[in-house]
Each structure stands twice: as C-alpha cells, then as structure tokens.
Amino acid sequence: MGFSGFALVGVVISCLLVATCAGNFYQDFDITWGGNRARIFKGGQLLSLSLDRVSGSGFQSKNAYLFGRIDMQLKLVAGNSAGTVTAYYLSSQGPTHDEIDFEFLGNVSGDPYIVHTNVFTQGKGNREQQFYLWFDPTRNFHTYSIIWKAQHIIFLIDNIPIRVFKNAESIGVPFPKSQPMKIYSSLWNADDWATRGGLVKADWSKSPFTAYYRNFKVTSFKPTTSLSDAGLLANELDAHGRRRLRWVQRYFMIYNYCTDLKRFPQGLPPECRRGRFL
C-alpha cells in the first residue's frame, strides 16, 4: 500500500531517501514535562508515561511533519483507569493551529476504553467521533495510525480504518494542509470529564497509572496530485478495508458530530450535509 504526500521538516537526508523510517525515542522525541514520570529505555525502543496525584507526563517529536503516515504502538493504562486520558496526536502551534487527535478515555475495570478522535483546522475543532475499542488495549500493544494527505485523513487501529475525514474545501470547509505538525503524547488527569462525564473520579490509590509506547514509524512518499480523492481512497481502502470501516462505524461508534442535531440546531456542518464524512 503506497502512502503519498509526506514531507519532513528538519529530518536527516537518509530518511528522505527511503519510504519508511523506524524511530528511536532517544533520537526522535523529547520528554517535555512530568520529570521522571516519563522514561525511555531498551536503547530507545520503549517509552513510558506515568500519572500520579501530583502530575502527568508527556513528550513530543523533535521534527515536524507535513503529510504522510505515522504509526505508533501503545499499551494503555491497565486496571481502573477512570479519569485518565492518554492523548496521541499531531499538532501545529498558535491560535490558528491544526490538529489530528487520538485520545483514549480511561474507564473503570471491565468497561471498554473509548477512543476519541477529532480534527482541528485553523484553531477550530468540534469534529468529534468516538468509538468503543473492540479489544482490551491494556493487555498487549496495538498500532494506532494516522494517514494524512491533502485529500483526506484516515484514522486506523491495527490497520483497520475507523474514520475518514475528507477534504471539503470545495464547499468552504478548511482542511489541514499547510502547517507542519509535531507528534505529541501525554497522560494526564481529566477526571472532571473523561469518565461518564466526570461522574467517576480517578482512584489515586491505584496510581501511578502508566502507558507504554514502542515501534514508532514514519512512512513517506512524494505528494500525489494525479489521482482524485476517490482514486486515492480506493488505493488505500480496498473492498475489505471499506467493509471493515463500515463494521467499526456500525457496531462500535458511540458518538458522531455529523448526526448530532441537538448540538447543531441550525443545521449540521456542511461536510456532514454533503455526506462527505465516513
């Protein structure tokens, strides 16, 4: 499967000459907050973030990226993770920033994790879709991927597409395509809203809460402008991929901004009305 349209700001020359660059946390990321709650070990192949009553922790990539595919394997906080949020996202900076989000909302033991997705353009988000995960994300590592092109953004879990956000600039909807973005991740306390709307608080007797990361990978190709969005999407989502996308959205989607008439009483956003969401 080819993934086009990835440019790296500040990357080494060798990485520009190949399609895929496997990452090393020492070389590719900086711990940005949380002190020793964030750790890199196994020669840069494994990273952990922890949250306790005092603070969470986070990291960010040294480089910024414009288009492409990014893969990261995560093993989320085990046990009673209520009130915690593990965020993994791309973002630029400033009041008109762009952002592509995965957020994992913790829950009480035995309840499924919720994965929250969002796309910000020019500082505006409000494009949330949420899903229950159909597996236990705390027992093993799973791969969470973002394919970002000028034509569309695809969110994937273990190479199963869960969401497609299409470029709808033709009907006046901004799309993130000009601001390079860094990769960020953090583990933080959000017990005022994360679990059942804040009704369930973090159980600090179970802290520290810890999430693990490995196998960061960047896949890069030159931008493709010769194919339409439909052609590009067909290349990336074959019939099996489209069936998997429909399966996830039918059985595991629990919120979609494009069907929330109460939230948008004056009318759904234009990309929804045109049926451009998946």
Residues labelled catalytic:
99, 103
User: DSSP letter string over 198-236?
Assistant: GTS---GGGPPEEEEEEEEEEE------SS-HHHHHHHH
Exposure of 189 by Cβ count < 10 A (0-12 exposed, 13-18 middle, 19+ buried)?
buried
Measured CA to CA, the distance from residue 154 to residue 137 in angstroms comes to 20
Measured CA to CA, the distance from residue 111 to residue 53 in angstroms comes to 23
Stretch (H or E) spanning 103: strand 99-105
118: left (phi over 0), alpha (psi -120 to 50) or beta: beta
